[in-house]
């Protein structure tokens, strides 16, 4: 009996200790939020210019947050501030649960593609002043997740389908013959210039998000994937058989012929890749590939 009582007392003490820790952690989080807000208020008082950041919010795992909404944050402007900087400020000074992707902050990783004031942008590349009139700070910046993609939480979208489309064009270099030993796989300067822009793709998904065809046709390869196919198909070092196979992939029913030449992908590309031109050139290659002379 005494052993049983001791075990019950121990269990009760553990539960009580766990509850105390939870209450302490909750109190610390509340104190941290208060400190964050206090710092934000001080920053706003000292700032010469501020703007309103209006951010899309959605969290399917929390009942009171599963209904989409917009939260607003007052952000003090600093010289050189980007949209990503403003989001990080809002997260660090107002709401630590604000969720978005970012990594390199140098327009290389492509993880922070967002829908800013109605257009696809890279958050780390887009200057706040570029969104205002005549180079001034805008009164409000509206930030949403990329359209036409499933939202996971807040500004984070599911990129799995985009990656599947990129893989569908088999984006791997495949020459008929490889050089012996340490000899280089040589490429002419002219050919390198031809495919140089296509190699700048950072897989951000902005072009796919802007494409009306991709929005209505889930099987369409999309501008990013077709551009990736262009990079290899137009490389003079690619094997002839492999090039033929690649052209067969992109000229399928949901390939290049679905493009309606709207140039929306080219307009939003953060790396200035002439995506629409590449798609049109692959259309010409597909036509030549199917010509037969008797």
Encode 263-274 in three state secondary structure.
CHHHHHCCCCCC
Query: Rounded CA gap, 141 and 204, in Å?
Result: 21
Query: Rounded CA gap, 125 and 109, in Å?
Result: 11
Confidence (pLDDT) at 136:
84
Per-residue pLDDT of the chain (294 residues; tens, 9 = 90+): 556 656 666 667 777 777 777 777 767 766 766 677 777 777 777 878 999 999 999 999 888 888 999 999 999 999 999 999 999 999 999 999 999 999 999 999 999 999 999 999 999 999 999 998 887 889 999 999 999 999 999 999 999 999 999 999 988 888 877 777 778 888 899 999 999 999 999 999 999 999 999 999 999 999 999 999 999 999 999 888 888 888 899 998 899 999 999 999 999 999 999 999 999 999 999 888 777 555
Residues 175 and 253 in one domain: yes
Residues 164 and 250 in one domain: yes
Residues 176 and 69 in one domain: no
Residues 176 and 259 in one domain: yes
For residue 160, report the phi and psi dihedrals to the nearest 5 degrees: -60, -45
Q: What is the CATH number of the domain that holds 114?
A: 3.10.20.30
Residues 28 and 51 in one domain: no
Four-residue CA torsion sign, 20, 23, 27, 28: positive
Note whether residue 20 is domain-resident. Answer: yes
Note whether residue 119 is domain-resident. Answer: yes
Residues 202 and 246 in one domain: yes
In a 3-state reduction of DSSP, which class is residue 201? coil
Note whether residue 42 is domain-resident. Answer: no
Q: What is the CATH number of the domain that holds 277?
A: 1.10.1060.10
Please say which residue of 101, 125, 153 terminates a domain.
153
Instruction: Give the residue from 236, 230, 246 showing the smallest Cα distance to 289.
Output: 246
Note whether residue 23 is domain-resident. Answer: yes
Contacts of 209 (CB under 8 A, 6+ apart): 113, 115, 120, 146, 147, 148, 149, 268
Note whether residue 41 is domain-resident. Answer: no
Residues 286 and 244 in one domain: yes
Residues 23 and 110 in one domain: no
Contacts of 56 (CB under 8 A, 6+ apart): 68, 69, 70, 143, 144, 145, 151, 154, 155
Average pLDDT, the chain: 89
Please say which residue of 153, 182, 209 terminates a domain.
153
Note whether residue 77 is domain-resident. Answer: yes
Q: Are strands 140-144 and 151-153 parallel, antiparallel or unpaired?
A: unpaired
Q: Read off the tokens for 95.
A: 């709401």
Residues 164 and 286 in one domain: yes
Residues 28 and 63 in one domain: no
Residues 55 and 138 in one domain: yes
pTM of the model: 0.83
Note whether residue 40 is domain-resident. Answer: no
Number of domains in the chain: 3
Residues 286 and 167 in one domain: yes
| Parent domain of 12 | 1-35
Note whether residue 263 is domain-resident. Answer: yes
Confidence (pLDDT) at 74:
96
Query: Rounded CA gap, 189 and 263, in Å?
Result: 28
Query: Rounded CA gap, 78 and 257, in Å?
Result: 46
Residues 125 and 107 sit within 8 Å (Cβ to Cβ): yes
């Amino acid at each position: 009996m005494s052993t049983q009582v001791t075990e019950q007392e121990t269990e009760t003490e553990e539960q009580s200790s766990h509850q105390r820790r939870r209450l302490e952690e909750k109190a610390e989080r509340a104190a941290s939020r208060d400190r964050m807000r206090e710092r934000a208020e001080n920053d706003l008082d000292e700032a010469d210019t501020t703007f309103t950041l209006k951010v899309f919010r959605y969290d399917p795992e929390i009942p009171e947050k599963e209904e989409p909404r917009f939260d607003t944050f007052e952000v003090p402007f600093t010289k050189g501030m980007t949209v990503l900087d403003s989001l990080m400020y809002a997260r660090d000074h107002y709401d630590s649960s604000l969720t978005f992707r970012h990594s390199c902050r140098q327009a290389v990783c492509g993880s922070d593609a967002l829908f800013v004031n109605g257009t696809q942008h890279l958050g780390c590349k887009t200057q706040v002043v570029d969104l205002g009139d005549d180079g001034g700070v805008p009164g409000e910046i509206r930030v949403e997740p990329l359209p036409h993609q499933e939202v996971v939480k807040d500004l984070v979208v599911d990129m799995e389908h985009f990656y599947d489309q990129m893989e569908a064009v088999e984006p791997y270099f495949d020459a008929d013959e490889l050089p012996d030993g340490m000899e280089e796989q040589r490429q002419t300067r002219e050919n390198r210039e031809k495919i140089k822009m296509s190699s700048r793709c950072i897989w951000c998904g902005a072009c796919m998000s802007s494409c009306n065809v991709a929005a209505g046709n889930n099987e369409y390869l999309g501008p990013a994937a077709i551009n990736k196919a262009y990079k290899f198909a137009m490389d003079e070092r690619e094997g002839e058989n492999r090039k033929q196979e690649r052209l067969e992939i992109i000229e399928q029913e949901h390939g290049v012929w679905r493009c309606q030449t709207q140039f929306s992908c080219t307009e939003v590309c953060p790396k200035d890749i002439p995506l629409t031109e590449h798609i049109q050139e692959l259309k010409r290659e597909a036509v030549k590939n199917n010509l037969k002379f008797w």
